């Protein structure tokens, strides 16, 4: 006999997972622009670093370099140090200005281009650069340091995490000296297939460190991909160079690896000079051509992030796109997907988590443009928000459901333009543990209903309300009233019956259990351990609606990786991927 819903405990959930082959997820560094992006937040931070450096005697028109043989070689930068007939910058006056600017800075008898850096030598690893960088920064007193290292780390078998830690220390060493570090991705190593296989991992680390520490990333690897042989010479390790030398920046010259490196270095320096030294506008946060149309996407908001806040993942193509929504905010972001403008493509709604103002942004899922921006509650409220999308007023467009994540149990619904539809408190007696929200048509009346799960101290209490009729539809305890944690929820027609269901997951400290209910009758459809009976981290849930129906997805929100899975109504894993590298521990929130 099946137990009644209120008798179900996490320990009695059926394990229903199939072991799947791991899938390769495209690394997000492949989408990073060649020339670094300087957002307003990054610009503000780096301007403080430069100001500190000037107080230490650093020179604005001096830069230096750090790395291994590819950086130490005379084909890199040195040809740009003196005028040359082969150098052709006539097509871009700003590059000519930047070239002249950094030629004017003295490092002993040299300028920045010709200076033989103490922080670059053949065969060096990140540990070697870290050891020698302080002496170079003291000697040259630069404003900027161009850093590319990692090829030898791979060749010598340095663990990826060791490389990461050394790269972080390199960045911190530069910043503490008042110098702006610029990290570069590393080129391919076709001579050694085993080493080549590690290039994506190490380049992703470069991007991750740049995002985490908010320093520029120069994607030299991407610039090389359009060149013959990916810009690598016949030795299979070092970049190729034009017969006219590395200073040949003509069209034919830029078909070679070192020449491309020199021009992209100059473009990077030009960007730094214009934005950080001349005060020109930083880059817009518009995503432009990089946007992923959200026809087959899921989205995650990262936890306690220092780099990007939202990660889009296309479940069909496996492409990813990471970006900021609330510039300068470094806390958790809550996300949801749904069609708010009736164009047939899901749109993205994002809300700031704890510590952020109650700010809502609505982004067009077709092209990434901002559709709306508004405050759901008084701007002084900093408890964070939970968001969901559903057509609560029956006009055919998705509306925005917002709940307070801490301090109150206040729920509001808005149109996509930010017009208030209704406002109410979810629980009685002034419950102050916050809420999570979801939305789905539970009673087949053509209107989305609001589902609310109690936060801390709420014992997994779930209620459902009809906004259309202003009445409560359901109330139950997902794991029994004795359950002490909070829960995550998702709502949707998971079984294709035409009637919405509610999925509920545990928050952590007990087995990561998921139960799917028919909320109007509290019938239990299925229950299973999302990540195995031994995993006791939190599980975040999302209803992902595509043309084929609504699917239940989960993310391990407190595990060492963001392990994302899709389930059927037997609890069987139908798809799985790791969105971040092993070791990621900042948590994530899910919005299908």
Angle between helices 126-140 and 160-176 (to 10 degrees): 10
pTM for the model: 0.55
Distance between CA 36 and CA 273 in Å, rounded? 12
**Whats the size of the chain, residue-wise?**
592
Q: First and final CA of the chain: distance in angstroms?
A: 34
> Which pair of tokens denotes residue 347?
């749109």
Distance between CA 320 and CA 220 in Å, rounded? 20
Three-class SS of residue 15? coil
Three-class SS of residue 322? strand
Distance between CA 333 and CA 329 in Å, rounded? 9
Q: What radius of gyration, in Å, describes the C-alpha atoms of the chain?
A: 27
Residue 395 confidence (pLDDT): 93
Q: How far is CA 149 from the centre of its chain?
A: 23
Buried/exposed 200-212: b ≥16 CB within 10 Å, e otherwise = bbbbbbbbbbbbb
Buried/exposed 375-388: b ≥16 CB within 10 Å, e otherwise = ebbeeebbbbbbbb
Show the domains of the chain with their CATH numbers: 41-278 (3.40.50.1110), 288-591 (2.130.10.10)
Q: Which H helix or E strand runs over 272?
A: helix 257-272
Q: Could you tell me whether strands 63-67 and 144-148 are parallel, antiparallel, or unpaired per DSSP bridges?
A: parallel
Q: Could you tell me whether strands 549-556 and 310-314 are parallel, antiparallel, or unpaired per DSSP bridges?
A: unpaired
Q: Which of 2, 164, 5, 178 is nearest to 524 (CA)?
A: 5
Residues 6 or more apart in contact with residue 578 via CB below 8 angstroms: 22, 25, 561, 562, 563, 564
Q: Mean pLDDT for each 10-residue chunk of the chain (592 residues)?
A: 32 30 45 84 88 95 97 94 64 72 92 95 97 97 97 95 95 96 95 90 89 89 90 92 88 89 93 92 64 74 56 71 72 88 91 86 85 84 92 94 92 91 86 91 94 91 92 92 87 90 85 90 90 79 78 68 79 74 53 62
Q: For 232, which DSSP code?
A: B
Residue 506 φ/ψ, nearest 5 degrees:
-75, 160
Residue 11 confidence (pLDDT): 31
Residue 530 confidence (pLDDT): 85
> Which pair of tokens denotes residue 139?
């000697």
Angle 136-137-143 (CA atoms, 0-180°, nearest 5)?
Answer: 135
Burial of 538: CB neighbours in 10 Å, binned 0-12, 13-18, 19+: buried
Distance between CA 564 and CA 298 in Å, rounded? 10
Distance between CA 467 and CA 426 in Å, rounded? 12
């Amino acid at each position: 006999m099946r137990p009644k819903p209120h008798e179900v405990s996490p320990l009695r959930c059926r394990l229903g997972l199939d072991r799947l082959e791991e899938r390769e997820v495209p690394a997000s560094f492949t989408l990073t622009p060649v020339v670094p992006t300087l957002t307003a937040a990054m610009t503000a931070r780096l301007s403080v670093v430069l100001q500190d450096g000037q107080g230490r005697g650093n020179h604005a028109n001096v830069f230096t370099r750090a790395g291994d043989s590819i950086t130490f070689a005379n084909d890199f930068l040195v040809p740009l140090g003196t005028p040359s007939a082969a150098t052709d910058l006539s097509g871009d006056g700003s590059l000519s200005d930047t070239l002249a600017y950094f030629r004017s800075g003295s490092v002993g008898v040299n300028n920045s281009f010709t200076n033989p850096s103490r922080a670059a030598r053949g065969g060096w690893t990140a540990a070697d650069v870290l050891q020698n960088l302080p002496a170079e920064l003291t000697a040259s007193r630069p404003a900027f340091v161009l850093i590319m290292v990692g090829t030898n780390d791979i060749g010598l078998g340095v663990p990826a995490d060791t490389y990461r830690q050394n790269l972080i220390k390199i960045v911190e060493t530069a910043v503490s000296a008042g110098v702006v570090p610029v990290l570069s991705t590393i080129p391919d190593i076709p001579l050694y297939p085993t080493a080549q296989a590690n290039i994506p991992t190490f380049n992703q680390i470069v991007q991750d460190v740049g995002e985490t520490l908010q320093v520029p990333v120069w994607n030299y690897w991407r610039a090389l991909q359009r060149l013959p042989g990916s810009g690598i010479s016949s030795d299979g390790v070092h970049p190729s160079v034009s017969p006219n030398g590395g200073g040949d920046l003509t069209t034919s010259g830029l078909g070679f690896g070192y020449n491309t490196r020199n021009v992209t270095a100059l473009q990077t320096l030009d960007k730094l000079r214009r934005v950080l030294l001349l005060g020109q506008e930083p880059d817009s946060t518009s995503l432009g051509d990089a946007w992923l149309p959200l026809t087959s996407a899921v989205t995650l908001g990262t936890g306690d992030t220092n780099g990007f806040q939202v990660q889009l993942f296309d479940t069909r193509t496996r492409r990813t796109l990471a970006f900021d929504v609330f510039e300068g905010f470094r806390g958790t972001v809550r996300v949801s997907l749904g069609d708010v403008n009736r164009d047939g493509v899901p749109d993205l709604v994002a809300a700031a988590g704890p510590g952020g103002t109650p700010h809502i942004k609505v982004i067009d899922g077709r092209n990434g443009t901002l559709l709306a921006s508004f405050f759901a509650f008084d701007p002084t409220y900093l408890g964070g928000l939970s968001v969901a999308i559903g057509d609560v007023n029956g006009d055919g467009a998705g509306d925005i459901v917002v709940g307070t994540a801490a301090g109150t149990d206040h729920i509001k619904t808005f149109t996509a333009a930010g017009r208030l539809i209704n406002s109410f408190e979810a629980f009685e007696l002034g419950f102050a543990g916050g809420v999570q929200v979801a939305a789905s048509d539970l009673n087949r009346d053509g209107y989305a209903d609001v589902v609310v799960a109690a936060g801390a101290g709420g014992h997994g209490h779930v209620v459902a309300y009809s906004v259309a009729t202003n009445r409560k539809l359901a109330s139950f305890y997902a794991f029994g009233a004795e359950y002490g944690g909070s829960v995550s929820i998702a709502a949707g027609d998971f079984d294709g019956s035409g009637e919405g269901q509610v999925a509920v997951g545990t928050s952590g400290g007990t087995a990561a259990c998921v139960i799917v209910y028919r909320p109007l009758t509290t019938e239990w459809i299925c229950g299973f351990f999302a990540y195995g009976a031994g995993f006791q981290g939190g599980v975040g849930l999302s209803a992902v609606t595509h043309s084929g129906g609504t699917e239940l997805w989960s993310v391990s929100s407190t595990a060492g990786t963001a392990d994302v899975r899709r389930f059927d109504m037997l609890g069987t894993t139908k798809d799985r991927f790791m969105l971040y590298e092993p070791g990621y521990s900042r948590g994530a929130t899910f919005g299908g």
